[in-house]
Amino acid sequence: MNKVQMKKDKIPPIALGTWSWGSGVNGGDAVFGNSLSEKELKPVYVAAMQAGFNLWDTAAVYGMGASETILGSFIKEQGASQVILSTKFTPGFSEDVEGSLNDSLNRLGVDHTDIYWIHSPKDVDRWTAELISLMKSGKVKHAGVSNHNLEEIKRAAAILNKEGFELSAVQNHYSLIYRSSEEAGIIDYCNQHGLVFFSYMVLEQGALTDKYSAVNPFKAGTRRGDAFNSEVLRDLTPLIELLKEMGQQHNVDAAAISIAYALAKGTVPIIGVTKTKHIDGAVAAANVSLSEEEIHKLEAAAKATGVEIKGAWEKSMVETD
C-alpha cells in the first residue's frame, strides 16, 4: 500500500468514515436509513485494521457522540497504538472547542487526536485560533479545516503560522459529480503547500456505487434519499454504466472506480464503511491506476448527467465571500 505524506507522518491512501455508525441526530438512521450496532460493526473495524487501513474519520456531531462512542469501544478493546484518529469540532453545535475535544477523546478512549478539524468556516479567525492551545498541549497533532473555501483556508493557515504551527489538511466534498474544490483551485493549492486534501462523499453516499438506481432507490425520508431521489438516480444511469464497464476492465466494481478517480486526482478519499466487503473494496480501489483517457471519459460522462448536489451545510467553493 502506497502511503501518503502528511507533514512528518505517513497515512493510508484511503481514510475510513464512520458517519453512518450509530443512531441519533445527524446519525446513521437519519442520514442513511440504517441503525448499526457495535456487534455488526466490529468485524468491519477488525478487517480494516488487518488490511492496514487504520485512519478513522469521525466527528462529535455524528449521532451526537454515537459514532465516536462505537469507534472508541473498538479502540479500547483492540488497542490504540496503531490507530490514526480524525475527529471534528462543529461550530454552532458547541461553543467550547476544548470541552468538545475532551468529550471526544473520552468517548474515543485516547489522550489525543491525530487530526482535529474545524468542521465549518463559520468565524474562521475565532475557531482556528482555538486550535493553538490544543496543539501546544499535545491533544491535537495535526490541524485541519473542513468545508472551507480557498480564502478561508489561506486565512486559517496564516493564523496557525503566526503562532509557529501549520495547517496539515483540508477536508471538502469532492466526487466525480461534485468538483467544486478542484474548480476553485483548492486541490492545486493543497498540492503546492504540502496540505493533504481529504475528499468526502466520493461515492455520494452510495449513489456512485451501482447499488442504487431509479428502480432500487434509497430509503425514503432519509437525507440521502431526499437528495438522490429516483429522478436524480435515473440521470446518473449513464455514468453508472461507464463505472461498471470500466470496473470490469480493471476487475473491480463500480464503487472502486469512483474511489480510484479520487485517488488519481491526488486526494485521500474518505469512504463510509459498514460491511467487511467495503474494506475489500478499499483494497481493490487502492490498486487501480486509471489512465488519463479513462479520467477524461469519466469526467465527461459525469458532466453530461447534469447532476451536482451539495449538502445543505455546504456553499460553493468558487465563492470567496
Burial (CB count within 10 angstroms: exposed 0-12, middle 13-18, buried 19+), residue 37: exposed
- pLDDT, position 318: 81
Q: pLDDT tier at 24 (50, 70, 90 boundaries)?
A: low
At a CB cut-off of 8 Å and minimum separation 6, what does 278 contact? 44, 271, 272
Determine the 3-state secondary structure of 139 from DSSP. Answer: coil
Mean pLDDT of 137-145: 98
Q: Residue 25 pLDDT more than 90?
A: no
Q: What 3 state SS string does 196-240 have?
A: EEEEECCCHHHCCCCCCECCECCCCCCHHHHHCCHHHHHHCHHHH
Report how far residue 181's alpha carbon sits from residue 316's, in angstroms, rounded to the nearest whole number.
8
21, 28 contact by CB (below 8 A): yes
Determine which of 22-26, 116-120, 169-173, 177-181 has the lowest per-residue pLDDT on average: 22-26
Give the torsion sign (CA, 290, 295, 297, 303).
positive
72, 78 contact by CB (below 8 A): no
At a CB cut-off of 8 Å and minimum separation 6, what does 98 contact? 130, 133, 134
67, 27 contact by CB (below 8 A): yes
Q: pLDDT tier at 221 (50, 70, 90 boundaries)?
A: confident
- pLDDT, position 31: 57
Report how far residue 17's alpha carbon sits from residue 200's, in angstroms, rounded to the nearest whole number.
9
Query: Within 10 Å of residue 47's Cβ, how many Cβ atoms?
Result: 19
Residue matched to cell numbers 497504538? 81
Name the H helices within 85-164: 97-108, 124-137, 150-162
Mean pLDDT of 205-220: 91
